[in-house]
Amino acid sequence: MKIIEKFADEVIASGAYKELDRVYVINKIKALVGDDDQEYDGKQSSVKQLVQMAVDRKIIPDDNTSREVLNDKLYDLKTPTPSKVNEIFWQKMQKSANTATDWFYKLCVDNNYVKKEAIAKNIVFSGKSSKDHELEITINLSKPEKDPKAIAAAAHSTGNKYPQCALCLENEGYVGGYGKNVRSNLRIIRMMIGGRPWGFQYSPYAYFNEHCIFLDQKHIPMIINQQTLINLVDIEKQLPEYFVGSNADLPIVGGSMLAHEHYQGGRHVFPMMKAKIKKVINFDQYPEVKAGVVDWPMSDLRLTSKNSLDLIDLGSKIIDFWDHYSDQDRQIKAFDGETRHHTVTPIMHREGEDFVLDLVLRDNNTSDKYPLGIFHPHAELWHIKKENIGLIEVMGRAILPGRLKKELEEVKKYLLNEDNEIADSHLEWAKKIKAEHQITRENVNSILQQALVEVFDQVLECAGVFKNNKDGEAGWQSFTKALVSEVDK
């Protein structure tokens, strides 16, 4: 079969166009790859062959960005318009949220917005640390290296950007190019959240199953307050099978997109969600809310209730109290003048009729000893993880840099006494692993994986404001006593 004809069949089969549109669709394809058709080679997807055809004919340059732009333009032909996607989604929501999200996720996989082939390259495993914390490790290999032309274009871009950021609604259908987002095949579900217009889309390079993003339709900065909790409850009422959470709203402890209000969610049960309460807290004013300190490396308060209004009210009081709480003995300081240092990473999921809200306490102070953050991965762990600890990692799923795949191969060779080029940054760690284990070719992978789990546990403990030791327990005791006194007065 001819490749353009084959792809036209796929476009029509997708439902984006009808049989009557065939000639029109074929001409849309030819406008992108040239008029002459050729035989389908059967070795790759139709789109990949069409992109290569355009490269061979010098219709597009042979670089990553140009290939990505054409790839997404072609897949856009297989995708219904935003209005049609929204119409179908909300029709399916009448049946159930699962029916709607299953359909929308499949659409985003089928139209290659969710890059399943790239995501499959990630290294993923899980384990339990020596402190009995279940943790998940991913080495992120899915995102392609940035195109040199794209880097150069970004360096010379002006302040007048369109779209303003990668999360803006204006990305939907945006062709993009060098230094710009490529989003021809993006579709965003419009939904009301907390009385305001928001959007819901999937993440192209997902870190877990059905990784999605909720974005304010306006480009406004992130903020954690009572409205955040109202919004999270509203999302859970509409999509109860998904968890949803927000990165913190301060540098160091926050995410990488502080300029645009957004949340992340999806269909995944993270280790933190399964962690148990180690200390119950009773609030007399909120008898319908169960509360407690979670047995977790970071400092997590959990509230559980069927009464979402009480949950929001109590959660808001905890956020406000933490915003102004200081503990000098533990380097916990709420303010420097007008500069706020405290916030939370709020995360919500459902357990039957119960709403479960985790409020992870965050502090972004720095010091001479810890210039990147007192409650940030410390220098001895930077060989594995130096980046900020965001929402996903707070919940126990490490997002480690792709450089580690190659570096860990050299560590493995070192552990097996083979010729190697181990990085100096890993050497002390590798010596310690070697001294503690009898390493063989059969067990080296499992030993190395367990060592990464232990490092990630330490990374999370660095980010915890109350440590998992006697001093940390004393800190929790002082904090919770003052909190209960304030809430119940």
Q: Which residues contact 353 (CB under 8 A, 6 or more apart)?
A: 306
Residue 36 lies in a domain: yes
pLDDT digits (tens, 9 = 90+) for 311-367: 999 999 999 999 999 999 999 999 999 999 999 999 999 999 999 999 999 999 999
Q: Encode 396-435: b = buried (16+ Cβ within 10 Å), e = exposed.
A: bbbbbebebeebbebbbbbbeeeeeebbeebeebbeebbe
CA pair distance 5, 293, nearest whole angstrom = 61
Domains held by the chain: number: 1
Residue 449 lies in a domain: no
What pLDDT is stored for residue 160 in this prediction? 74
Residue 411 lies in a domain: no
What is the number of H-type helices and E-type strands within the chain?
16, 15
Is 0.85 surpassed by the pTM of this model? yes
User: Between 3-14 and 46-56, two packed helices, what is the crossing angle to 10 degrees?
Assistant: 140
- Whether the bond into 297 is cis, omega within 30 of 0: no
Residue 326 lies in a domain: no
In 3D space, the residue among 114, 75, 108 whose CA is nearest the CA of residue 89 turns out to be 108
Sheet holding 397-400, edge to edge: 123-128, 134-139, 397-400
Q: Encode 342-375: b = buried (16+ Cβ within 10 Å), e = exposed.
A: bbbbbbbbbeeeebbbbbbbbbbbeeeebeebbb
In 3D space, the residue among 485, 453, 463 whose CA is nearest the CA of residue 299 turns out to be 463
Residue 25 lies in a domain: yes
Report the chain (489 residues): mean pLDDT per 10 consecutive residues.
96 96 98 97 95 98 95 98 98 98 98 95 97 97 71 62 93 94 97 98 96 98 97 98 97 89 98 98 97 98 98 98 97 96 98 98 96 96 95 97 96 98 98 97 98 98 97 98 95
What is the residue range of 39's domain? 1-60
What pLDDT is stored for residue 73 in this prediction? 98
Residue 44 lies in a domain: yes
Residues in the chain: 489
Residue 19 lies in a domain: yes
Residue 295 lies in a domain: no
Q: Is the dihedral of CA 144, 148, 149, 155 positive or negative?
A: positive
Instruction: Give the DSSP letter of residue 329.
Output: G
What pLDDT is stored for residue 255 in this prediction? 78
What pLDDT is stored for residue 179 in this prediction? 85
